[in-house]
Structure 1
Amino acid sequence: MSFLEIFNGYDRAEVARDIAACGAADVQRALAAEHLRLGDFMALLSPAAQAYLEPLAQKAHRVTQRRFGKTIQMFAPLYVSNECSNGCLYCGFNAANKVARRTLSLDEVEAEARILRQRGFRHVQLLTGEAPRAVNVDYLEKVVRRVRPLFSAISIEVFPMDEAGYRKMVAAGVDNLTVYQETYDRQLYDRLHPFGRKKDFDWRLTTPDRGGAAGLRSIGVGALLGLSDWRTEGFFVGLHARHLARSWWRSRVNVSFPRLRPADGGFQPLAPVSDRALVQLLCALRLLMPDAGLVLSTRESAALRDSLLPLGITQLSAGSSTAPGGYGHEHDGSEQFAISDERDAEQVCTMLRARGYEPVWKDWDRVFLEDKAV
């Protein structure tokens, strides 16, 4: 069964009511469970679970330590274009925003990539807006092949493709796909995306499945926190992640927790998410998905990122720029959003080691898949 069919089988209002109806006994049962059912997951997202935040955090910590040890994978985003034809109201790349637009040449992409390599990164995430005339599959294929020799792992967070497009990405050297649904509320999604290809809710919802079918090594999902009720959004993120883990068992599943940040256009959160709520969501998802990678970007403050480490985070970005050419030219191009944690990679690694963690720059290499002549 496709995730679209699974998703369409749920009524959002009923999900919200079921979460709100959970009581202390439901939370206690969920905390005692070895494997969570969806009803248990709802209980851990519920208002009743707020009184159990400490035992929830402790269990999430134990599960993470057992599955991942004390290692944190480091990565950096590399924005190759901020051109976009979509009208996403919350995004700095919104086509209606009067900002400087730029798509990097292959030489410029390589120059940015070499800066990141010099800083120690061996895992890079390539990002773009959605502008078919400026950035298409062929351009991205060339970008990936150009930077492939510099990195052991390459991720993409770009416009949705069909399965054939993702197969081209895999052949070029892409390992990982990240695609946020933004919000799992159909009606709100429609209002937030007044024009552009991204307006197609179903096409975006089924994107991770196309990536799985194409053979990507990992698939990442998430909701943009601050657009709608975080408890209901969290449930559908978990439902989506669980489906991907079951359907594409050869691919690792990652979950991200992006909260809205200031950006060109001045969009304000419709449903602000507190730090305590973020902790509850993160811990609940860790217990639902014990083997998933949990990702926290520089959207969050240094102090909060440091505090959330023990609760389930396995991947961190550092020293990030969200503007094309931003590593070589600090103010070259408009940013997608403003970062909060401005520490460079060395400072983040120093913090990790001081807390007993080992930063991992390279935990994968495609050479592992290559046949060796005897």
Structure 2
Amino acid sequence: MKDIMSYTEQMDQLDPARMNQVLALKSEFNDAAFTAQDVETALTKTTLNAYDFMALLSSAAGPYLEMMAHKAQTLTRAHFGNNIQLFTPLYIANYCHNGCRYCGFNSQQAIPRAQLTKSEIQRELEAIAATGLQEILFLTGESEAHSSIDYIASALELAKPYFANIGIEIYPTNEASYRILHQAGADFVTVFQETYDLTAYEYYHPYGNKRSFPYRFYSQERALNAGFRGAGFAALLGLSDFRHDALATGLHLQSVQTAFPEAELSFSVPRLRPINGELGHFNHLVSDRDLVQIMCAYRLFMPHAHITVSSRESESFRNAVMKICATKVSAGVQVDVGGHSASNKHKSSDQFDINDTRSVAQMHADIVAQGLQVVYHDHIRL
């Protein structure tokens, strides 16, 4: 696949209008053009347009971060109360056919690879359920050969008796396959676009199905068409200019919300993390202050969207942003295959180095200590 805007014959193709609109608006963003007045005007509005969102992501908004955080906190409490949802990821395989230059799972990494058997998955599910969690996120590497739709569906079927909410973060697939996974128990799909900078996207994805930018862009839409209840969106912040990538992520989510007004949509805000202790030579790293600005801008632009903050971030950072705008956090996290059950541990390498290692019980106690309410599920599976 030479052209990142192309598809293989097997890929579903959707109307490119929304993608083209997002990319066109992104190209119009000129950080230096925004002024303090633009930011102040955006902060007076209850409904923001794309240019207001740009203003809040711009450098001009830096001095207004405290005001943004106060308004973001007010909106979060209005729409979500004091609730913080808990979940944990479960890696069931780490084989991958892509060559992503930033990922510890990419096909050229000489790492231990593993795929859990049904009995091993069962042990993982039992170990996670014993912590009290009711929401789980299944992850695989992007290899359909080693993590087939049938394999993932069988894992979802095993999870249904244990969990009220089940999400997947796997390779993008066609609508028919998403329908199979939804029928097997999946409620949510999360797909990181990684970066919306087409030049950077081409560099970071030299081969594999992930090289198709539009196929990845429309993953959430295919899943929602297949019956999924919700979808998550993110750029991997640090691969390119974070202001442009955050802008495009927000516009992407807004475009899908317009097309699927009943869907539950969420932002994730992953920053680049070291792989085996090293971060490499990336030129667009995002500071804590930058990340808070992005999260507050997301909240003001899309007040009803969840904001998920993973264990990539530190304990102190996550405690702080839960008070402002984060509504969903992971706990008891393991980023290797089969890391939750003692008998499955050390089957593979970690995808990246986590920062917050708190258990579910520790996370629960810390959330309550901040005057917030822990939510283990908000959905009854019939």
TM-score range, shorter chain: over 0.9
Which amino acid is the alignment partner of residue 334 of structure 2? Answer: S
Cα offsets for 1:276-326 (capped at 9, x unmatched): 000000000001110001100000000111111122111010110011111
Native 8 Å contact 1:349 1:359 kept in 2: yes
Give the whole-Å Cα distance in 1 for the aligned partners of 2:316 and 2:74. Answer: 22
Q: Which residue of 1 aligns with 2:3?
A: none
Return the offset for 1:196. 1.2
**Aligned position for 1:221:** 233
Q: Report the CA distance between 1:16 and its aligned residue.
A: 3.4
8 Å contact from structure 1 (residues 282, 311) kept in 2: no
1:351 aligns with 2:363: no
Residue 276 of structure 1 corresponds to 289
Secondary structure of the structure 2 residue equivalent to 1:366 = coil
Q: 1:304 aligns with which of 308, 317, 323?
A: 317
Q: Please, which of 52, 60, 73 is the counterpart of residue 48 of structure 1?
A: 60
1:85 to partner: Cα distance: 0.9
Q: Which residue of 2 aligns with 1:120?
A: 132
Q: 1:3 to 1:180 in 2, by over 3 A?
A: farther
- Aligned partner of 1:23 in structure 2 is 35
Residues 1:104 and 1:6: Cα distance change in structure 2 (over 3 Å)? same
Deviation of residue 89 (structure 1)?
A: 0.7
Distance in 1 (alpha carbons) for counterparts of 2:177 and 2:293: 37
1:335 is matched by which residue type in structure 2? D
How far apart are 1:13 and its partner, in Å? 7.2
Contact 1:254/1:293 (CA < 8 Å) preserved in 2? yes
Alpha carbons of 1:314 and 1:13: their partners in 2 closer, same or farther (altered >3 Å)?
closer
Residue type of the alignment partner of 1:349? H
> CA separation in 2, counterparts of 1:310 and 1:333?
35
Contact 1:12–1:232 under 8 Å retained in 2: no
Aligned to 1:372: none
Q: Deviations over 1:246-283 (max 9, x none)?
A: 11122111100001111158544331000000000000
Counting only pairs closer than 5 Å after superposition, residues 200-215 of structure 1 correspond to structure 2 as 200-215=212-227
SS in 2 for 1:311: coil
Query: Using the alignment, how far apart are the partners of 2:321 and 2:16 within structure 1?
Result: 32
Post-superposition shift, 1:176? Answer: 0.5
Per the alignment, residue 6 of structure 2 pairs with: none
Task: Give distance in 1, aligned partners of 2:215 and 2:36.
Answer: 39
Query: 1:90, CA displacement in angstroms?
Result: 0.5
Shift of 1:5: 1.9
Aligned to 2:356: 341
* 1:223-238 → structure 2 map (5 Å cutoff): 223-238=235-250
1:180 is paired with a residue whose SS is: strand
User: How far apart, in 1, do the equivalents of 2:16 and 2:190 lie?
Assistant: 18
Q: Is the 8 A contact 2:113 2:347 kept in 1?
A: no
What SS does the aligned partner of 2:136 have? strand
Q: 1:122 touches 1:150 (CA, 8 Å); kept in 2?
A: yes
Does structure 2 retain, via aligned residues, the 8 Å contact 1:175–1:217? Answer: yes
Moved more, 246-255 or 325-334: 325-334
Structure 1, unpaired ranges of 5+:
368-374
Q: SS in structure 2 opposite 1:149?
A: coil
Residue 124 (structure 1) shift: 0.3
* Contact map agreement 2:95 2:141 (CA 8 A) in 1: yes
Q: Tell me the SS of whatever aligns to 2:156.
A: helix
Aligned to 1:324: 337
Three-state SS of the structure 1 residue aligned to 2:66 is helix
Instruction: Quote how far apart the aligned CAs of 1:11 are.
Output: 4.1
Q: Counterparts of 1:260-271 in structure 2 under 5 Å?
A: 260-264=272-276, 267-271=280-284
Rounded to whole Å, the distance in 2 between the matches of 1:91 and 1:238 is 23
- Please show how residues 164-243 of structure 1 align to structure 2 within 5 Å: 164-243=176-255
1:3/1:243 contact within 8 Å kept = no
Structure 2 CA distance for partners of 1:266 and 1:98, relative to 1, 3 Å: farther
Q: Whole-Å Cα distance in 2 between the matches of residues 302 and 263 of structure 1?
A: 19
Partner of 2:306: 293
The SS at the match of 1:285 is: helix
Contact 2:88/2:333 (<8 A) preserved: yes
Whether 2:267 is the aligned partner of 1:252: answer no
Residue equivalent to 2:105: 93
**CA 1:23–1:272 in 2, change beyond 3 Å: closer, same or farther?**
same
Asked whether the 8 Å contact 2:26–2:247 carries over to 1, the reply is no
- Hey, what does 1:78 align to over in structure 2? 90
| Paired residue total | 365
TM-score (norm 1): 0.95
Q: For 1:286 and 1:80, how far apart are their aligned partners in 2?
A: 32
CA contact under 8 A between 1:93 and 1:129: conserved in structure 2?
yes
Tell me which amino acid in the other structure corresponds to 2:335.
T
How many angstroms apart in 1 are the aligned matches of 2:279 and 2:317? 24
CA contact (8 A) 2:272 2:279 kept: no
Do the aligned partners of 2:26 and 2:248 also contact (CA within 8 Å) in 1?
no
Q: Is the 8 A contact 1:156 1:176 kept in 2?
A: yes
Per-residue deviation, 1:110: 1.1
- Structure 2: runs of 5+ lacking an equivalent: 1-13
Relative to structure 1, is the Cα distance of residues 3 and 299 closer, same or farther in structure 2, using a 3 angstrom cutoff? farther
TM-score by length of 2: 0.93
User: In structure 1, how many angstroms separate the alpha carbons of the residues matched to 2:280 and 2:151?
Assistant: 31
